[in-house]
Amino acid sequence: MTAVNARAVEPYWVVVPAAGSGKRMGADKPKQYLPLLGKPLIVHTLQNILRWPGLAGVIVAIAADDSEFGNLAEASDPRIHTVTGGAERADSVLAALEYLSTLAEPDTSVLVHDAARPLVASNDIETLIGPASAAIALLAQPASDTVKRASAENGTAVVAETLPRDQIWLAQTPQKAPLQILKDSLQAGLRENPAAITDEASALELAGYRPQLIAACRTNFKITQPADLLLAEALLTQQRTQQGEPS
Ligand code: CTP
Ligand code: MG
């Protein structure tokens, strides 16, 4: 990442929720610790984040029973802090924000980025942290497939309607907002309608904000199921080849 001058970017913190158990992956350990080209998935994500220009620090939310994070070399990086996460992703993010409030000013910009997204493109990060983006913004992918809303009929799913595709975006991370606004919005959202708070933007929307959508590369998918690991390995191998690194 060379196009953005780190001094031209307002410093920001990154929160990495990494306290999930990876049920859909169905592996014998949480997906963030599964090997991806010889390194745990979360190591790829953290090494990527540590290269972002203007980074002030990282808070990783890990599970109360996590026995792996402390063994990683990144655990002793002075820029990386840890907190204990909670039952849902939003609880983990909130725990990190509460800790961050003891270190940073209320108007500090925070980027929340899933541990399970190792492949976010540096160009998209540059856009998100750059001067042209709004204070409250997220990476997202415009839908490329035709999108159906489903309803149940005789025990099967049927199409209720086809949604206008040009209005559909799939939310990714990072999602960016000022610390105090994000914390207040998540707290209010978890109080009022916890099931609806599946990302930061949903809490911010509920609080009346209109997050900016920044079109991002679809390689920033969230590793969720076993096939996603294969795809991520193929993309990382191709990146290494392009950069002339040994694979
Ligand atoms: N996460 C978290 N705390 C939770 C649940 C999820 O910090 N209580 C994190 C995950 O570790 C992941 C990110 O939030 O990095 C996105 O969540 P998801 O992809 O749903 O991961 P899991 O919850 O681990 O997976 P699953 O839903 O399949 O169990
Ligand atoms: Mg989950």
Rounded Cα gap, residues 13 and 23, in angstroms: 28
Torsion on CA atoms 224, 230, 231, 233, rounded to nearest 10: 110
Q: Is the pLDDT of residue 25 over 60?
A: yes
Q: Atom 8 in ligand 1: which residue has the minimum CA distance?
A: 88
Question: Would you kindly state where each structural domain of the chain is located, as residue ranges?
Answer: 12-140+169-242
pLDDT in tens, 127-149: 999 999 999 999 999 999 999 99
- 172-198 mean pLDDT: 97
Tell me, in angstroms, the distance from the centre of ligand 2 to residue 193's CA.
17
Task: For the full predicted model, state whether its pTM sits above 0.85.
Answer: yes
Taking the CA of 91 as reference, the closest ligand is 1
Rounded Cα gap, residues 75 and 10, in angstroms: 25
Q: How far is CA 145 from CA 112, 141, 148, 171, 230, in A?
A: 27, 11, 9, 15, 22
Mean of the per-residue pLDDT values for the chain?
95
Report CA torsion sign: 99, 65, 58, 214.
negative
CB of 115 within 8 A of CB of 62?
no
pLDDT at 2: 46
pLDDT in tens, 205-238: 999 999 999 999 999 999 999 999 999 999 999 9
pLDDT at 4: 59
92 lines ligand 1 (CB under 6 A): yes
Rounded Cα gap, residues 99 and 121, in angstroms: 28
Residue 245 per-residue DSSP state: -
> pLDDT grade, residue 9 (50/70/90)?
confident
> pLDDT grade, residue 7 (50/70/90)?
low
pLDDT in tens, 46-60: 999 999 999 999 999
- 113-125 mean pLDDT: 97
Q: Which ligand 1 atom is at minimum distance from the Cα of 222? A: 19
CB of 220 within 8 A of CB of 117?
yes
Fold of 12-140+169-242: Spore Coat Polysaccharide Biosynthesis Protein SpsA; Chain A (3.90.550)
